[in-house]
């Protein structure tokens, strides 16, 4: 099984539980950081494409901020959940991959990739192809905004196995691919153990991601016809400047279409 098929299978399996398991994620706060970048570096229009939209949490948050939103995701089960989301009425949700998006998506003022979907592109060439697809989706002067995990985050979060005890639920996460190196693939695993009556049920997700350094991101963007015009460091949903690969959790990028 390829890593792409493995990722698809993982999200197909977890889709019914995805929102519950991520209930503590501050999607509204994260989207607010995206909107700041779009408003400052975009062309001023409100047509937004939410690429890798998952269950539509970010898509609804963008619409609440006044955008006309279309979303797409790799997983049909996640897209089905997005279509059922309260507040998502009228948002068009499609199935597609970052490198092979649904056809006919053009003229957007902003393309967003929220909550690190680009980390699943495990080579610079794949990253470049996804960025080139986003460039083709943008109107003149449009901006691609996306976040990437830092090497510091990967090492802090997955450098040693972690287990959280929540009573009738245990969550464990760890890296299958130590040591964690810059510009290299990072394989991580999440295991959820839940009590079900007198037995325990296990739900597992294996993530094959790649750390993309700032240099790699900028080079891939240039190859794709984009130019990085701004970065922000993120610690949870708090923006920091200048962005730092060691101390921050993510780097938020704004890349403008050239020509």
**Per-residue model confidence as pLDDT tens digits over 22-74:** 878 899 999 999 999 999 999 999 999 999 999 999 999 999 999 999 999 99
Cβ pair 28, 241 in contact under 8 A: no
Q: State how far the Cα of 50 lies from the Cα of 112, in Å rounded to an integer.
A: 5
Which tokens go with 31?
């989207």
| The three-state (H, E, C) secondary structure of the chain, written as one string | CCHHHHHHHHHHHHHHHHHHHCCCCCHHHHHHHHHHHHHHHCCCCCEEEEECCCCCHHHHHHHHCCCEEEEEECCHHHHHHHHHCCCCCCCEEEECCCCCCCCCCCCEEEEEECCCHHHHCCCHHHHHHHHHHHHHHEEEEEEEEEEEECHHHHHHHHCCCEEEECCCEEEEEEECCCCCCCCCEEEEEEEEEEEECCEEEEEEEEEEEECCCHHHHHHHHHHCCEEEEEEEEEECCEEECCCCCCCCCEEEEEEEECC
Question: Which stretches of the chain drop beneath a pLDDT of 50?
Answer: none
Structurally, at CATH architecture level, domain 153-209 sits in Single Sheet (2.20)
Dist CA 68 CA 60 (whole Å): 10
User: For residue 21, which phi and psi values (nearest 5 degrees)?
Assistant: -70, -20
Q: Which residues contact 220 (CB under 8 A, 6 or more apart)?
A: 124, 127, 128, 131, 212
Cβ atoms 59, 53 nearer than 8 A: yes
Structure pTM?
A: 0.95
Domain residue limits, the chain: 3-149+213-257, 153-209
One CATH from 3.30.1320.10, 3.40.1180.10, 3.40.50.150, 3.40.50.1820 for 3-149+213-257 = 3.40.50.150
- What is the Cα 153 distance to its own chain's centre? 15
Distance CA 64, CA 68 (A): 10
The pLDDT value given to residue 95: 98
Strand duo 138-149 + 68-73: pairing: unpaired
Query: What is the Cα–Cα distance from 156 to 149, expressed in whole angstroms?
Result: 11
pLDDT at 2: 65
């Amino acid at each position: 099984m390829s890593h792409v098929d493995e990722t698809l299978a993982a999200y197909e399996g977890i889709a019914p539980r995805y929102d519950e398991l991520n209930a503590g994620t501050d999607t509204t706060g994260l989207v607010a950081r995206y909107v700041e970048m779009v408003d400052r570096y975009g062309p001023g229009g409100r047509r937004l494409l939410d690429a890798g939209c998952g269950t539509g949490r970010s898509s609804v948050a963008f619409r609440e901020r006044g955008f006309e939103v279309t979303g797409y995701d790799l997983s049909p089960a996640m897209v089905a959940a997005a279509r059922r989301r309260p507040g998502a009425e009228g948002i068009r949700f499609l199935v597609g991959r970052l490198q092979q998006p649904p056809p006919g998506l053009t003229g957007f003022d902003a393309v967003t990739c929220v909550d690190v979907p680009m980390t699943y592109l495990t080579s610079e060439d794949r990253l470049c192809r996804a960025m080139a697809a986003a460039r083709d989706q943008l109107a003149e002067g449009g901006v691609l905004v996306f976040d990437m995990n830092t090497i510091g985050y990967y090492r802090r979060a997955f450098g040693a196995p972690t287990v959280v005890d929540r009573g009738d639920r245990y969550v464990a996460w760890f890296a299958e691919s130590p040591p964690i190196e810059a510009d290299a693939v990072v394989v991580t695993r999440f295991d959820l153990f839940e009590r079900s009556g007198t037995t325990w049920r296990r739900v597992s997700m294996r993530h094959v991601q790649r750390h993309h350094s700032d240099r790699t991101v900028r080079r891939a963007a240039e190859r794709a016809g984009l130019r990085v015009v701004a970065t922000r460091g993120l610690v949870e949903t708090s923006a920091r400047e200048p962005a730092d690969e060691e101390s921050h959790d993510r780097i938020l990028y704004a890349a403008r279409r050239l020509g």
